[in-house]
């Protein structure tokens, strides 16, 4: 079998695959791109814009602080996760185990400020570690600190990414909860997988709706901007068309009358002198030249790309014969 035949055979196999297979293949490709491709990449949380609708209403002294409001919210939630982890892992303030579990709970939340996808993996990895360190036969698979931490990480990462990433994080959370309950859940008194899954699903749904609404608003704003630009462009074109019509109706009409009268004038005088005939010929030639230039100007005015005329204005040497003709007729002119 030749190389060409092998290539055609491969394309034929791709075409015969079922839609379900292609859908699963695209889904797995999206999972790899969202959560497995460079998960610990550096993506710092940006500050709020100074001209935002919320920040610009504040006094000048509070605007700088309000720009870092998202960072303050993340820090406050991390502190709550730290306290919840310490209270769930030992005696707060006097136990090393309590401090360790609290830090393990707070670290993923803080990591969402700079490495959002990596923070999700940190939270998922810290969940069983905290459960083992503070395991007393109580909550499983999420201790109070990891419950707060993982839920906050899901929401913060979903806010900074697209809805598909939030859906994949929820699927992996469901897979972890399912495996944890099947393998180790029997030795614990209570499993909180259902509360975590339901609460996180509702939170991610709200975030997804926010993303969709924000994208729709941005699209509407972009369309309004384009519409306003087109309306302005159309208005300018209509104004230029009006100017061109007025120039054509007034100036072109009078110049045509001048050219016709200059051509007919020698026949209305019996035996006109040669100088008079040459003067009328010159007047007619200048009127015809002016009409030609006026037609070019009208074409430029009517065109959409009016800022780029098809030819420059004639330089001074080109206009010298016209000035000389005017001088021979006895008119004064100045360069």
Q: How confident is the model over 143-161, as pLDDT tens digits?
A: 999 999 999 999 999 999 9
pLDDT in tens, 226-235: 888 888 888 8
Task: Round to whole Å and give the CA distance between 118 and 109.
Answer: 11
Give the span between the Cα atoms of 151 and 242, in whole angstroms.
64
Q: Which helix (H) or strand (E) holds 140?
A: strand 139-140
The pLDDT, as a whole number, for residue 109 is 97
Q: Determine the pLDDT at residue 187.
A: 66
Q: Is 129 in the same domain as 150? A: yes
Q: What total number of domains does the chain contain?
A: 3
Distance in angstroms (rounded) separating the CA atoms of residues 295 and 248: 8
Structure tokens at 157: 């990462």
Are residue 127 and residue 165 in the same domain, yes or no? Answer: yes
Tell me: do 247 and 176 sit in the same domain: no
pTM score of the predicted model: 0.66
CB neighbour burial string for 281-309, b if at least 16 within 10 angstroms, e if fewer: ebbbebbbeebeebeeebebbeeeeeeee
Residue ranges of the alpha helices (H) in the chain?
Answer: 3-16, 19-31, 60-67, 69-89, 96-111, 116-133, 144-160, 163-184, 193-247, 253-268, 274-302, 316-328
Give the domain-ending residue among 131, 166, 191. 191
Q: Is the dihedral of CA 122, 125, 126, 127 positive or negative?
A: positive
Secondary structure class of 263 (helix, strand, coil): helix
115 Cβ neighbours under 8 A, 6+ residues apart = 39, 40, 41, 42, 43
Same domain, 62 and 131: yes
- Tell which of 191, 216, 238 closes a domain: 191
Q: CA Rg, the chain, in Å?
A: 40
CA 244 to chain centre: 39
Sequential DSSP letters for 93-133: TT-HHHHHHHHHHHHHHHHTTT-HHHHHHHHHHHHHHHHHH
The domain in which residue 69 lies consists of: 38-191
- Tokens encoding 145: 């600190």
For residue 127, the tally of other CB atoms under 10 A from its CB is 26
182 and 45 in one domain?
Answer: yes
Dmax (CA) for the chain in angstroms is 129
Identify the pLDDT of residue 236. Answer: 82
Decide if 199 is inside a domain. no
Q: Is there a domain that residue 134 lies in?
A: yes
Out of 171, 191, 211, a domain closes at 191
User: Are 21 and 48 in the same domain?
Assistant: no
Predicted local confidence at residue 89, as pLDDT: 54
Question: Is residue 53 in a domain?
Answer: yes
pLDDT of residue 5: 42
Residue 196 included in any domain? no
Position 15 scores a pLDDT of 55
Pair 285, 148 in one domain: no
Whether residues 10 and 146 fall in one domain: no
Same domain, 19 and 128: no
pLDDT beneath 70, residues of the chain = 1-16, 50-55, 88-94, 135-138, 185-188, 302-335
User: Are 3 and 44 part of one and the same domain?
Assistant: no
Does one domain contain both 105 and 167? yes
pLDDT score at 156: 96
Does 65 map to a domain? yes
164 shares its domain with 274 = no
As a whole number of angstroms, the distance between CA 68 and CA 60 comes to: 14
């Amino acid at each position: 079998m030749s190389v060409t035949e092998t290539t055609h055979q491969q394309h034929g196999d791709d075409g015969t695959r079922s839609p379900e297979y292609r859908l699963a293949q695209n889904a797995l490709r999206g999972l790899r791109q969202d959560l497995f491709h460079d998960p610990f990449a550096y993506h710092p949380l940006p500050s709020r814009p100074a001209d935002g609708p919320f920040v610009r209403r504040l006094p000048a002294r509070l605007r700088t602080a309000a720009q870092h409001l998202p960072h303050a919210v993340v820090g406050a939630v991390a502190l709550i996760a730290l306290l919840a982890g310490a209270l769930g892992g030992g005696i707060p303030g006097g136990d090393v185990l309590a401090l360790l579990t609290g830090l393990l709970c707070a670290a993923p939340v803080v990591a969402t400020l700079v490495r959002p996808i990596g923070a999700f993996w940190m939270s998922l990895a810290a969940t069983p570690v905290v459960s083992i360190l503070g395991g007393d036969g109580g909550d499983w698979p999420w201790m109070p600190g990891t419950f707060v931490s993982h839920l906050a990480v899901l929401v913060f990462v979903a806010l900074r990414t697209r809805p598909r990433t939030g859906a994949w994080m929820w699927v992996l959370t469901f897979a972890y909860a399912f495996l944890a309950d099947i393998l180790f859940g029997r030795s614990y008194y209570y499993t909180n997988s259902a509360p975590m899954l339901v609460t996180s699903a509702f939170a991610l749904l709200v975030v997804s709706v926010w993303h969709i609404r924000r994208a729709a608003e941005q699209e509407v704003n972009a369309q309004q901007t384009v519409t306003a630009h087109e309306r302005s462009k159309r208005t300018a074109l209509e104004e230029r068309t009006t100017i061109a019509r007025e120039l054509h109706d007034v100036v072109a009409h009078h110049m045509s009358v001048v050219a016709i009268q200059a051509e007919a004038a020698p026949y209305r005088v019996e035996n006109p002198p040669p100088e008079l005939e040459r003067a009328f010929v010159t007047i007619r030639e200048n009127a015809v030249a002016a009409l030609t230039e006026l037609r070019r100007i009208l074409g430029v005015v009517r065109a959409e790309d009016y800022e780029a005329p098809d030819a420059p204005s004639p330089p001074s040497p080109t206009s010298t014969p016209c000035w000389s003709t005017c001088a021979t007729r006895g008119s004064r002119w100045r360069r």
